[in-house]
Amino acid sequence: MAKNQSGSDDMDALFITGDEISRRLAEKAVQVFKIDGSGNVIFEKGFDTLKDGHTIGIVALAHYIRYARGIVESETISNHEISQRSGIGVKVVNARLAQLKKERVVASPSRGQRRFVPASAERFLDEVTSDARKSKEV
């Protein structure tokens, strides 16, 4: 394996630690939302009129963050809880979650349960931010 001048191999730049992933995710997420002590999502100014699918994805992401921090025991969140936390009806939640599953933002480990796919977090937050900016321009 080729070593660069510093003595590490050139492939080292390809690897990222869990801490680095968490830091990057936090930097993007904090621009969009915060999570209160009860687990409710508080949207930042400019992100309070998101599309239903984005709002639902953010609720699932917030649950995943709470799980990753050890605040909740289960990595999954029910469709019903997403509905309650987002204020969006269950039928709409189910339809939007089906689309988010196709986009690989959420997974469905069992019926009526969803799990946010961490590998999609940055891409999803970039999409939410981009769409919010576009709606401000209109």
The Cα 80–Cα 2 span in angstroms is 53
Does residue 106 contact residue 125 with C-beta atoms inside 8 Å? no
List the CATH number of the domain containing 33: 1.10.10.10
Residues near 31 by beta carbon (within 8 Å), at least 6 away in sequence: 44, 129
Predicted confidence at residue 112, as pLDDT, reads: 92
The Cα 66–Cα 44 span in angstroms is 18
Structurally, the chain folds into a number of domains equal to: 1
**pLDDT per residue as tens digits for the range 23-72:** 888 899 999 999 999 999 999 988 888 999 999 999 999 999 999 999 99
Tell me the pTM: 0.85
Predicted confidence at residue 3, as pLDDT, reads: 57
**pLDDT per residue as tens digits for the range 84-95:** 999 999 999 999
Residue 2: which pLDDT band, with cuts at 50, 70 and 90? low
Does residue 116 contact residue 131 with C-beta atoms inside 8 Å? no
Three-class secondary structure of residue 7 per DSSP: coil
Is 5 part of any domain? no
- Put the strands of the sheet holding 113-116 in their side by side order: 77-78, 113-116, 106-110
Does residue 85 contact residue 78 with C-beta atoms inside 8 Å? no
Is 10 part of any domain? no
Residue % of the chain over a pLDDT of 90 = 68
